[in-house]
Structure 1
Amino acid sequence: MKLIIGVVFIVVSALADELPLAEQCDEEACQLPDCRCSSTDIPGGLRPRDTPQFVTITFDGGLNTVNIQTYRQELYDKTTKNGCPIGATFYVNHEYTNYNIVNELYNRGFEIGLNSISHRTPPSYWAQADYDTVMAEIGDQRIQMAHFANIPMDAIKGVRLPFLQMTGNSSFQVMADIGLLYDASWSTTANTNPGLWPYTLDYASTQDCNIPPCPTASIPGAWVFPLVAWLDLSGTACTTVDSCFDVPEENDVDGWYRFYISNFERHYLGSRAPFGFHVKEAYFTIYPGARVAFRRFLELLNNLHDVFVVNSSQVIEWIKDPVPVSEYIEQPCWNFVNTRCNHIGCPPLTSEHNQIQYWMEICNICPRVYPWVGNPLGL
């Protein structure tokens, strides 16, 4: 069996090096639900006032008993104006992650995405990553995440690359081959007003490439979820909240609230491209005012009739079949199947890559060694 898998992997890997160069988008040929040109145009030709304003809250990194306290306090038991629970997407890396918590977040209706097994430094490792490297870091992590957290593999739809470092065509080809829906790593500072909507890579992208190498090949069905930049207090573009330089003082709740509103309004009063609130949980510890303001900001969003705080993949599902606010608000809430977690605590496991002893909290049977790149299940 291993020999067969190896042969298939080699063949697929070889094909990854022979991708056709993407051509300029043919709008007549590229039609929803399966294809969309890179564009700031609203899907379906809707008017801004008829378009749902989607907000995507995303966090990167490992999940543990410390940061889950923030997520429970700030995200749980909150609903949007249509009565549905709010969404958030967690792009999780493997090291030190508590898989019981992954299962808990999934069973709360939040989306679990991939952020690599190793999250290895320096960023040049990812800039130079070929197809095989990305498959070992991302493709295998999908198997790993589904296994240890006991969540359906097809519920894992998105990836965010470490450090937002693009890998050229490699990561998108891996996505297409293993059935991931979208990538949420590619930042844009040139398409902020109006903002760039998610699109597919069937044709050449018009998005600016801030952290090269960016994809150049035609990779049908692979969706790009652009990270539309914010503007800090000096008007300088920043992709994530915690990367903004000129920000309010750490305890200035009103200042942070106004900061959030000013960036949100650029979307809400404009083309209604999805508004991304991307931040690391630890930032709320450094800037307590930012956390309190986030709570107030979320209350505002949840009381606006045409604003919906959703999981990232829900945005793409709407784009595939865009309907006006009046119809969207009547649609059923996000549907998922709950899964069990047996809450197994594993004794210290030796890591073969660095000889460190790791504890693991998982939902099934303890591995032999600490799982890592090349051995994602620790067999």
Structure 2
Amino acid sequence: MENVSGNVPYACLFLAVFLGLIGTVHGLYCKRDCHPPKCSCPQYNYPMNREDIPQMVYFGFDDAVNVMVSALYDRIFTENRTNPNGCPAKMTLFVSHKYTDYRRVKNFHENGHEIGVHSVTHSVIGNENLLRQEAKKQKDILMSRAGIPEKDIVGWRSPFLKPASVNQPKILKELGYEYDITYTYTRTHMSSPKPWPFTLDSGWPFRCATRPCARTRVKGFWTVPVEGLMDFKDLYPCTYVDGCVIGASNEKEAYKYLMDNFMSYYNTTRSPFGLNMHAAWFYRSFNLDAMLRFLDDIGKMDNVYIVTVKQMLDWMKYPTPLANISSLKSWNCHYKEPTEVPTTTTTTEKVINVTKLDERRNNPMWFILRRLF
């Protein structure tokens, strides 16, 4: 039998050297030379006094932008819904092509909201060639039809949160994207650890919930984990806000669902609180009422900011204490006059849609349109 005892000192030496090159952050490995703005380690706790960290809240809405969802977004993101610095709260829209009204996309962008890409066909993207086609073409469409500068289109989300390949981040970076918000991180309780966004310099370190995961390392490319919320009973995770097995049945339960999840971030590590969702959640009017009350309540807190995904990552690149938040340029107010949709077109569009819905009152959006129009 081979005597391995003599190899132990060499093994220990190798381990010591290896650990000297690699830092450990709460069990997650990261190179010691990884520092913002070009690199950020995967971590559960951010190395800053909690009281100095703004509690960031971001919305990531998926799918087409049309008259119905636009009315909902306008109802939520009013001029009076502002952050503690006086600037309007903003959202991110991950836009797919079919049924999208690009005039409305243009208006949202000009009002300071972020526009990301959610594919052209909104179908499962099962290989790298298809990913390249979908990610490039939809970006081109947003540029040509909505007039959005290429430099402003930096975020991608795969349909159904299904990655195309282990090389998805590498391909997206080659296409000019700066972050991917596709990969899921499942919590099992409100108290479960909540990871911060990070760059893939060391790859994806968590359990792979939806394969294939990003096992390749992509220097300087950001990933924003889609962190599931817990249902209002704290029993089962909900990947999307509107994806709970046990959903709320009234406004009180829906409000509890939102606020309990928010407080599980706010009272612990203050990692960014993501509301990844579809506007379909508002098909039930009590969910819309709960969301508006939730936003009104957190809007009274002087350390909570509702920002876009890109603004949130800007903070990650340039971590700024609350006391100095005015120095973070992308969080300052940028007021722009929105491009007006012609009055005749808008009026006709409303009449046509409401008239059609009036003829089939069972449409789940009927009650929303009645309230909004």
Common fold by TM > 0.5: yes
**TM-score, structure 2 normalization:** 0.78
Match of 1:275 among 253, 273, 276: 273
Residue 140 of structure 1 aligns with an amino acid whose one-letter code is K
- CA positional deviation for 1:174: 2.1
Mapping for residues 364-375 of structure 1, pairs under 5 Å: none
Mapping for residues 109-148 of structure 1, pairs under 5 Å: 109-120=112-123, 123=124, 126=125, 128-130=126-128, 132-148=129-145
Q: Where does the alignment leave 5 or more consecutive residues of structure 1 unmatched?
A: 1-22, 345-379
Which segment drifts farther, 165-174 or 84-93?
165-174
SS at match of 2:171: helix
* Matched positions, count: 311
- CA positional deviation for 1:216: 1.0
8 Å CA contact 1:25–1:204 kept in 2: the answer is no
8 Å CA contact 2:204–2:213 kept in 1: the answer is no
- CA positional deviation for 1:150: 0.7
Q: Does 1:104 align with 2:103?
A: no
Change (3 A) 1:139 1:334: farther
8 Å CA contact 2:242–2:280 kept in 1: the answer is no
Q: Does 1:94 align with 2:97?
A: yes
What is the RMSD computed on CA atoms of the aligned residues? 2.2
Q: Distance in 2 between matches of 1:155 and 1:230?
A: 28
8 Å CA contact 1:129–1:170 kept in 2: the answer is no
SS at match of 1:66: helix
Q: Distance in 2 between matches of 1:259 and 1:320?
A: 31
Match of 1:65 among 64, 67, 88: 67
Match of 1:83 among 81, 86, 90: 86
Mapping for residues 1-379 of structure 1, pairs under 5 Å: 25-42=29-46, 45-77=47-79, 78-120=81-123, 123=124, 126=125, 128-130=126-128, 132-190=129-187, 193-232=192-231, 233-249=233-249, 252-285=250-283, 287-328=284-325, 331=328, 333-334=331-332
Q: Distance in 2 between matches of 1:340 and 1:246?
A: 40
SS at match of 1:86: coil
8 Å CA contact 1:37–1:205 kept in 2: the answer is no
- CA positional deviation for 1:47: 1.8
8 Å CA contact 1:193–1:270 kept in 2: the answer is no
Query: Which residue of structure 2 lines up, in the alignment, with residue 358 of structure 1?
Result: none
Task: Kindly provide the CA deviation profile for residues 175-199 of structure 1, in whole angstroms up to 9, marking residues without a partner as x.
Answer: 2112211111111015973310010
Q: Which structure has greater helix proportion?
A: 2
Q: Distance in 1 between matches of 2:334 and 2:133?
A: 28
SS at match of 1:220: strand
Change (3 A) 1:190 1:260: closer
Change (3 A) 1:281 1:116: same
8 Å CA contact 1:115–1:161 kept in 2: the answer is yes
Q: Distance in 2 between matches of 1:199 and 1:151?
A: 26
Q: Distance in 1 between matches of 2:183 and 2:195?
A: 11
- CA positional deviation for 1:50: 1.6
Q: Where does the alignment leave 5 or more consecutive residues of structure 2 unmatched?
A: 1-22, 343-373
Residue 222 of structure 2 aligns with an amino acid whose one-letter code is W
- CA positional deviation for 1:207: 2.0
8 Å CA contact 1:198–1:226 kept in 2: the answer is yes
Q: Distance in 1 between matches of 2:260 and 2:76?
A: 21
**TM-score, structure 1 normalization:** 0.77
Q: Distance in 1 between matches of 2:269 and 2:237?
A: 18
Residue 245 of structure 2 aligns with an amino acid whose one-letter code is F
SS at match of 1:282: helix
Residue 186 of structure 1 aligns with an amino acid whose one-letter code is Y
- CA positional deviation for 1:331: 4.5
Q: Distance in 1 between matches of 2:257 and 2:95?
A: 27
